[in-house]
């Protein structure tokens, strides 16, 4: 894997089982976390677990909110606005109460302990992950460009679609998501969110911020294909909410 310090964290990492939304794809009745910040935290955590950096100690599974973490969080847009840092701290505390589901059906708590609390600076505070969650973050992590993650600012749907492309769009094949499945996969999705008008805006943004995949909309659903590959329905794989 790329050395995070050497690349300046221009490349982030996302792992299927450690992303708050993905277990819902596998059939959980209730999504783990709503909103953009918990999703970004998953990418932040997974990036530090899978790169060489000064703030994560693999032996103790402890992440310190040091200079590197704060810099990456800032570049990801997690600290912007009047409530940015507060929302991030709230989501970290909330991570102690959510449960992930591994591929083999085991329920896993992500955080063993943290001394981060509301109303205090998070600088140099620590988060200790459970070994089970570290395993989820370390299992087949995929590279996702920081610039693309930042470009999805403003909502969760664009970020989720970017993650779907990263995790599920195979080389030389198209990924297809029907509108019905998209409605089931994305927690809190409203009929308006998957309307043609709303999706067109989201897909236009995704095509503008990166040149790895092409996102397009058909009457029946959403198609994601590798950039430069001509559309071929026979090379299509489908993402289905189980």
Range of lowest pLDDT (2-11, 107-116, 182-191): 2-11
Q: What is the predicted pLDDT for the residue at 57?
A: 97
Alpha-helical regions (H) of 63-141: 67-75, 84-94, 131-138
For the segment 60-105, what is each residue's pLDDT rounded down to a tens digit? 999 999 999 999 999 999 998 667 889 899 999 989 888 888 888 8
For the segment 197-235, what is each residue's pLDDT rounded down to a tens digit? 888 989 999 999 999 999 999 888 899 999 998 887 778
Q: What is the predicted pLDDT for the residue at 113?
A: 97
Q: What is the predicted pLDDT for the residue at 209?
A: 94
Q: What is the predicted pLDDT for the residue at 66?
A: 96
Distance CA(121)–CA(185), nearest Å, equals 36
Provide φ and ψ at 62, rounded to 5°.
Answer: -110, 130
Residue 123: pLDDT over 70: yes
Q: What is the predicted pLDDT for the residue at 83?
A: 72
Residue with tokens 């590279």: 143
Residue 128: pLDDT over 90: yes
Higher pLDDT, 214 or 183: 214
Contact 46, 15 (CB under 8 A): yes
What is the β-pairing status of strands 174-178 and 221-226?
A: antiparallel
| Nearby residues of 137 by Cβ (< 8 Å), 6 or more positions away | 15, 18, 45, 46, 49, 50, 129
Give the pLDDT band of residue 240 (cuts 50, 70, 90).
confident
Nearest in space to 181 (alpha carbons), one of 200, 160, 166: 160
Q: Region of 187 please: left (phi>0), alpha (psi -120 to 50) or beta.
A: beta
For the segment 151-171, what is each residue's pLDDT rounded down to a tens digit? 998 778 899 999 999 999 988
Domains of the chain, earliest start first: 4-138 (no CATH), 154-238 (1.10.10)
């Amino acid at each position: 894997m790329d050395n995070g310090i050497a690349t300046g964290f221009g490349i982030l990492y996302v792992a299927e089982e450690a992303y708050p939304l993905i277990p819902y794809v596998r059939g959980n009745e209730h999504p783990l976390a709503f909103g953009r910040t918990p999703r970004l935290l998953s990418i932040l955590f997974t990036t530090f677990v899978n790169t060489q950096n000064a703030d994560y100690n693999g032996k103790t599974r402890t992440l310190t909110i040091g200079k590197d973490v704060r810099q990456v969080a800032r570049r990801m847009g997690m600290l912007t606005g009047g409530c940015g840092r507060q929302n991030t701290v709230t989501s970290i505390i909330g991570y102690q109460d959510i449960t992930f589901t591994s591929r083999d059906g085991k329920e896993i708590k992500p955080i063993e302990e943290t001394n981060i609390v509301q109303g205090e600076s998070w600088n140099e505070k620590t988060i200790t992950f459970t070994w089970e969650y570290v395993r989820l973050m370390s299992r087949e992590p995929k590279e996702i460009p920081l610039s693309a993650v930042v470009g999805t600012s403003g909502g969760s749907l664009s970020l989720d679609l970017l993650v779907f492309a990263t995790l599920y769009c195979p080389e030389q094949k198209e990924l297809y998501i029907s509108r019905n499945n998209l409605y089931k996969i994305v927690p809190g999705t409203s009929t308006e969110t998957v309307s043609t008008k709303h999706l067109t805006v989201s897909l236009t943004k995704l095509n503008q911020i990166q040149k790895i995949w092409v996102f397009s909309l058909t009457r029946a659903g959403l198609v994601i294909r590798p950039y430069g590959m001509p559309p071929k329905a026979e090379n299509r794989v489908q993402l289905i909410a189980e």
